[in-house]
């Protein structure tokens, strides 16, 4: 078992700002909303300035997170207290919350239909909630132990990673009807659609990423990873995979699935997401209490930012923040 290091023992880390970030200009900064499971809170991080701007208490050891730019909301899942909450993008008190009897784990948001999906680890199902009130609308049956959830970029498909069934379940997002189930690698956990609509699963049991065509159900290929892949993200022509037991991110060609490189990040990397402009991939490091920023052109770590204790960020955790004037002086504040 990996030794968990406390926040007090974490080294002070400073974000390395690239030159383009220092020129004064109006911008929309990327914000990271990082669930910290061990300290039961949410770190709100201004990636442009390289600092945490808010630390919000979220009871129940939150793990799952989904940011909706369209709904101007952040949704969190606390497995210990079995609670889903909705906050604004500059969160204070929750705007809505719901207790779910079962094992809530992953979460995804369908902006256009104003729905929230939450996986139930214990009961092989997905709860479908209203995005404003979190009122329960219906449930969907999945395979055993569903974890990650994802919506396709065109809004056509909802997919679940059914870990203990070694499969994914794919539903039509409009009708919520089951489309098909597809066998993937061993114990899929994180799940992500690429920008062109292919589905990628992080298979923690077989140290692979499986690539699936959701329309016809064909397995298109496999990517070999390091130990215990957790999540997948995309930027440009590359895919990025966090490896929990290797403190690294595998980079692969998103078209051919060929390996490109391996990047060392913080300890026990888990959640992973891409900034709106595609310039950075952000990784939550559970054991070192940081997020790492990977430059997607140079394929190297550009810097790290401190978080709360035990950052998970399981889901889509990045969003644009408010417009502000950015400068070298402002970046130091």
Q: What's residue 7's pLDDT?
A: 38
The per-residue pLDDT of the chain, averaged, comes to 90
Is the pLDDT at 11 greater than 80, yes or no?
no
Q: How confident is the model at residue 17 (pLDDT cuts 50, 70, 90)?
A: very low
Q: What's residue 232's pLDDT?
A: 98
Is the pLDDT at 13 greater than 60, yes or no?
no
The residue ranking higher by pLDDT, 232 or 14, is: 232
Q: What's residue 91's pLDDT?
A: 86
Is the pLDDT at 329 greater than 70, yes or no?
no
332: left (phi over 0), alpha (psi -120 to 50) or beta: alpha
Q: How confident is the model at residue 15 (pLDDT cuts 50, 70, 90)?
A: very low
3-class DSSP state of 330: helix
Is the pLDDT at 327 greater than 60, yes or no?
no
Q: How confident is the model at residue 27 (pLDDT cuts 50, 70, 90)?
A: very low
Angle 166-168-173 from CA coordinates, rounded to 5°: 165
Q: How confident is the model at residue 321 (pLDDT cuts 50, 70, 90)?
A: low
How far is it, in rounded angstroms, from Cα 87 to Cα 70? 13
Element (H, E) at 148: strand 146-151
Q: What's residue 200's pLDDT?
A: 98
Q: What's residue 320's pLDDT?
A: 80
Q: What is the dihedral of CA 244, 296, 73, 115, to 10 degrees?
A: -80
Query: What mean pLDDT do residues 287-299 have?
Result: 98
Query: What is each CA distance from 157 to 196, 271, 320, in whole angstroms?
Result: 13, 22, 24
How far is it, in rounded angstroms, from Cα 39 to Cα 227? 26
Give the lowest-confidence range in 15-19, 162-166, 178-182, 310-314.
15-19
Phi and psi at residue 48, in whole multiples of 5°?
-65, -45
Q: What's residue 28's pLDDT?
A: 53
Q: What's residue 23's pLDDT?
A: 38
Instruction: For the chain, give the percent of residues with pLDDT over 90.
Output: 86
Q: Is the distance from CB of 251 to CB of 225 less than 8 angstroms?
A: no
Give the lowest-confidence range in 12-16, 48-52, 184-188, 240-244.
12-16
In sequence order, which residues have a C-beta less than 8 Å from that of residue 92 and are 6 or more positions away?
A: 56
Query: What mean pLDDT do residues 156-184 have?
Result: 98
| Other CB atoms within 10 A of residue 27 CB | 16
Q: List residues bridging with 30 in a β-sheet.
A: 320
Q: pTM (2 decimals)? A: 0.89
């Amino acid at each position: 078992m990996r030794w968990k290091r406390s926040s007090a023992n974490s080294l002070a880390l400073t974000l390395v700002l690239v030159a383009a970030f220092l020129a004064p200009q109006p911008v929309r900064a990327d914000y990271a909303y990082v669930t910290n499971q061990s300290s039961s809170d949410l770190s709100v991080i201004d990636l442009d300035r390289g600092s945490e701007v808010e630390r919000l208490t979220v009871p129940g050891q939150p793990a799952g997170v989904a940011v909706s730019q369209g709904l101007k909301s952040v949704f969190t899942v606390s497995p210990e207290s079995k609670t889903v909450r909705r906050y604004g993008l500059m969160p204070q008190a929750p705007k809505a919350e719901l207790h779910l009897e079962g094992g809530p784990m992953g979460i995804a948001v369908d902006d256009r239909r104003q729905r929230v999906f939450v996986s139930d680890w214990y009961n092989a199902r997905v709860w479908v909630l209203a995005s404003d009130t979190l009122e329960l609308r219906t449930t969907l049956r999945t395979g055993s132990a569903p974890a990650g959830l994802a919506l396709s970029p065109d809004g056509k498909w909802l997919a679940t990673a059914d870990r203990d069934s070694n499969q994914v379940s794919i539903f039509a997002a409009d009708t919520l009807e089951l489309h098909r189930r597809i066998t993937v690698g061993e114990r899929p956990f994180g799940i992500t659609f690429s920008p062109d609509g292919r589905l990628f699963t992080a298979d923690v049991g077989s140290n692979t990423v499986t690539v699936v065509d959701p329309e016809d159900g064909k397995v298109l290929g496999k990517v070999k990873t390091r130990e215990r892949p957790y999540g997948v993200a995309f930027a440009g022509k590359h895919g990025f995979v966090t490896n929990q037991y290797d403190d690294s991110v595998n980079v692969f060609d998103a078209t051919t699935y060929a390996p490109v490189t391996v990047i060392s990040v913080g300890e026990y990397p888990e959640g992973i997401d891409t900034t709106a402009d595609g310039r950075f991939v952000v990784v939550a490091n559970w054991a070192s209490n940081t997020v790492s920023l990977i430059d997607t052109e140079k394929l190297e770590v550009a810097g790290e930012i401190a978080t709360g204790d035990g950052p998970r960020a399981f889901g889509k955790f990045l969003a644009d923040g408010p417009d502000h004037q950015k400068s070298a002086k402002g970046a130091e504040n």
